[in-house]
Chains A and B, each alone.
Chain A
Amino acid sequence: MINSSLKQLSQMLAKKEISSVELTQTFLSRINQFNPSINAFITLDEAKTLTQAKAADVRIAAGKAEALTGIPFAQKDIFCAKGWQTTCGSKMLANFIAPYDAHVISQFDAAGAVNLGKTNMDEFAMGSSNETSYFGGVKNPWDFERVPGGSSGGSAAAVAARLCAAATGTDTGGSIRQPASLCGFTGLKPTYGLVSRYGMIAFASSLDQAGPMAKSAEDCSMMLNVMAGFDERDSTSLNRPKEDYTRGLVSMQGDKPLKGLRIGLPKEYFAEGLDAGVAKVVQDAIAEYKKLGAEIIDISLPNSKLSIPVYYVLAPAEASSNLSRYDGVRYGHRAEKYTDLMDMYCKSRAEGFGAEVKRRILIGTYVLSAGYYDAYYLKAQQIRRLIADDFVQAFKKCDIIMGPTAPSTAFKAGEKADDPVAMYLQDVYTIATNLAGLPGMSIPAGFSNGLPVGLQLMGNYFDEARMLDIAHAYQQVTDWHVRMPELKIPEVAA
């Protein structure tokens, strides 16, 4: 059951083969067993969770169930959920009880889904290994010595270890896709503006986007149906007609379901810096796509190598502005001792933020300070356009772009923790889509030395349905997405 798809769980619930309470308890008992070692969750509240499960059972009995009613999900701790501790992985918000629901949370609630708990993450989503969390690192379920990736590391580990049916994440520079690659599951970052950012704690507002983290493309499509949609409370939410993201999946049958599909392979994504084992897995996956009828086309994204420098100007600049709200006055951490108001601000922020968050605030403050604006911020915005234009040109030649999601498999905890620049390179293949606002996915494509490898799919704006179809076609003929790690953890004494 823990490895069942959302569709299967939904059918089991509809047929009353299992109740939502039973299903929820199955996952809660796995969480109790494994979470002490994995540390995927920051906050659990069984009473709240089971109340939702009971309500879902009532709704199912009344014949008013929707696709996700009664299914337990883990929510990244970046989403405000009313009455739940919502920390964003930071000491600054360690005692913050959200007074309202994020749009994503209300959407899951309205669908009758069950909230299993809030998952661990890099502090304010700034990191690629989950090591910057105030609440400690997260173990990669495939190898406990290794990181799950980040920033959505807790959600990633929870999905990989089957501690939840699926989870939510957010992706500013790769925070859904890179952990999906490192933990071996399917993750989607939608087109910027598709999922409302209301109540999602802000990091870099022009890049942040929420998305599903699940076993398969089919699961992601069902979740996106619930998550996507216009919300007037987010000024950048796009007002478009509602789509059914599952609509095309059924057509991905037969011998050559992808006949006529043009897949672009950017040469820059297969150059120096890519681990040979990862490259091999990705090439094998591309070969599988050829068998499904796709045509492979060589393309170039010449400015993509600049996406990391551009990102590390723009994201910290936006972060320094967004995080200025944490002043210790209205909520969040306030220092115990201070001499005056200025001292209270400076001490509260020095104590409340961790080292990486402080670094990014300082970088952002610097690049926005008088005299440097043109050289850094404006320059970065200009190159951002060049990067986005590369994709416009590429999509004239192909329908979808594929490549590796991350340059390597999961690395060991501590390996890059002291070298921010080495850590930043983890997102070398994912950041460009955030800058351009395009949708990106990572799907499990195999293993290198026993560790999962993800294949990245990059689509044109609002092409999520087609990307999910293309991912689904691959998952019809491969079984990487249903592989799960053997968790060798001693049972916790009762």
Chain B
Amino acid sequence: MALNITDIKSIAHLARIEINEQEAATTLTKLSGILGLIEQMQAVDTKDITPMSHSQNVVQRLREDVVTQTNQREEFQKIAPILGNGSGLPAVQDGLYLVPQVIE
């Protein structure tokens, strides 16, 4: 299926990647080339072939329902993105991550 600029913008939105007009145009050319390559698959008859999601035929392991992790919140929050206010501090407060207000 041939893509157009509107498709590219809508895919970029689904992927949460901002894209401007010029990027969308370049992306359209490159993606169309890649999809052309992928189209080769359509010539193959795959009727009744079981899809292979994984190379090893194993079942998901389960573990005992016990605590295995210790709380490392401070360690992990040290590497949070930096606040945009010039303070150089990580965007965290009271053990939570700071993001733009979502609910008025």
A residues adjacent to B (C-beta < 8 A): 95-97, 99, 192-193, 206, 232, 235-236, 238, 303, 306, 308-310, 312-313, 320, 324, 327-334, 336-350, 353, 358-359, 361-363, 365-367, 369, 372, 375-376, 378-386, 388, 419-421, 424, 435-438
Minimum CB–CB distance for B67 against chain A, Å: 15
What residues on A are CB-neighbors of B50 within 8 Å?
382, 385
- Asked if B41 and A359 make an inter-chain contact with CB atoms under 8 angstroms apart, the answer reads no
Query: In the bound complex, what is the Cα–Cα distance between A361 and B13 (angstroms)?
Result: 11
What residues on B are CB-neighbors of A313 within 8 Å?
38, 41
- Asked if B79 and A331 make an inter-chain contact with CB atoms under 8 angstroms apart, the answer reads yes
The list of the 10 closest CB pairs from A to B, nearest first, reads: A437-B55, A381-B51, A334-B81, A382-B46, A385-B52, A350-B18, A346-B18, A382-B49, A365-B15, A384-B52
What residues on A are CB-neighbors of B34 within 8 Å?
312, 359, 363, 420-421, 424
Minimum CB–CB distance for A442 against chain B, Å: 20
What residues on A are CB-neighbors of B42 within 8 Å?
375, 379
What residues on A are CB-neighbors of B17 within 8 Å?
346, 349-350, 353, 358, 361-362
Judged by a CB distance under 8 angstroms, whether B5 is at the interface is no
Minimum CB–CB distance for B47 against chain A, Å: 9
Minimum CB–CB distance for A369 against chain B, Å: 7
Selected contact of B44 from candidates A312, A329, A386, CB within 8 Å? A386
Query: In the bound complex, what is the Cα–Cα distance between A327 and B100 (angstroms)?
Result: 13
CB within 8 Å of A: which B24-58 residues: 27, 30-31, 33-42, 44, 46, 49-56, 58
- Asked if B31 and A359 make an inter-chain contact with CB atoms under 8 angstroms apart, the answer reads yes
What residues on A are CB-neighbors of B97 within 8 Å?
329-330
Minimum CB–CB distance for B68 against chain A, Å: 9
Selected contact of B52 from candidates A349, A382, A419, A424, CB within 8 Å? A382
Give 6 A-B contacts (CB < 8 Å), ordered by A residue.
Answer: A232-B61, A338-B100, A358-B27, A359-B34, A381-B53, A437-B55
* A232-B63 contact given A366-B11, A382-B49, CB 8 Å threshold: yes
Minimum CB–CB distance for B31 against chain A, Å: 6
Selected contact of B56 from candidates A192, A361, A384, CB within 8 Å? A192
Query: In the bound complex, what is the Cα–Cα distance between A206 and B50 (angstroms)?
Result: 17
- Asked if A206 and B76 make an inter-chain contact with CB atoms under 8 angstroms apart, the answer reads no
B residues adjacent to A (C-beta < 8 A): 1, 3, 7-8, 11-19, 27, 30-31, 33-42, 44, 46, 49-56, 58, 60-61, 63, 72, 75-76, 78-82, 84, 91, 97, 99-100, 102
- Asked if A349 and B16 make an inter-chain contact with CB atoms under 8 angstroms apart, the answer reads yes
What residues on A are CB-neighbors of B60 within 8 Å?
235
* Chain B residue at minimal CB-CB distance from A234: B61
- Asked if B40 and A309 make an inter-chain contact with CB atoms under 8 angstroms apart, the answer reads yes
Minimum CB–CB distance for A100 against chain B, Å: 8
Query: In the bound complex, what is the Cα–Cα distance between A436 and B8 (angstroms)?
Result: 32
- Asked if A341 and B18 make an inter-chain contact with CB atoms under 8 angstroms apart, the answer reads no
- Asked if B54 and A236 make an inter-chain contact with CB atoms under 8 angstroms apart, the answer reads yes
Query: In the bound complex, what is the Cα–Cα distance between A162 and B103 (angstroms)?
Result: 57
Query: In the bound complex, what is the Cα–Cα distance between A68 and B13 (angstroms)?
Result: 49
* Chain B residue at minimal CB-CB distance from A436: B55
What residues on B are CB-neighbors of A380 within 8 Å?
41
What residues on A are CB-neighbors of B82 within 8 Å?
334
Beyond A313-B41, A382-B50, 7 additional pairs, beta carbon < 8 A: A306-B41, A340-B100, A341-B100, A383-B46, A385-B49, A386-B44, A421-B37
What residues on A are CB-neighbors of B54 within 8 Å?
206, 236, 437
What residues on B are CB-neighbors of A308 within 8 Å?
37
- Asked if B91 and A334 make an inter-chain contact with CB atoms under 8 angstroms apart, the answer reads yes
Query: In the bound complex, what is the Cα–Cα distance between A372 and B31 (angstroms)?
Result: 15
Selected contact of B41 from candidates A206, A353, A383, CB within 8 Å? A383
Query: In the bound complex, what is the Cα–Cα distance between A330 and B75 (angstroms)?
Result: 12
* A362-B76 contact given A235-B61, A310-B41, A385-B51, CB 8 Å threshold: no
From B17, B18, B30, B33, name the one whose CB has the most chain A CB atoms within 10 angstroms. B17
Query: In the bound complex, what is the Cα–Cα distance between A361 and B82 (angstroms)?
Result: 25
Minimum CB–CB distance for B16 against chain A, Å: 5
Query: In the bound complex, what is the Cα–Cα distance between A232 and B91 (angstroms)?
Result: 33
Selected contact of B102 from candidates A235, A341, A376, A379, CB within 8 Å? A341
What residues on B are CB-neighbors of A435 within 8 Å?
55
* Chain A residue at minimal CB-CB distance from B7: A366
Selected contact of B76 from candidates A99, A238, A344, CB within 8 Å? A99
Query: In the bound complex, what is the Cα–Cα distance between A381 and B78 (angstroms)?
Result: 41
Query: In the bound complex, what is the Cα–Cα distance between A236 and B61 (angstroms)?
Result: 9
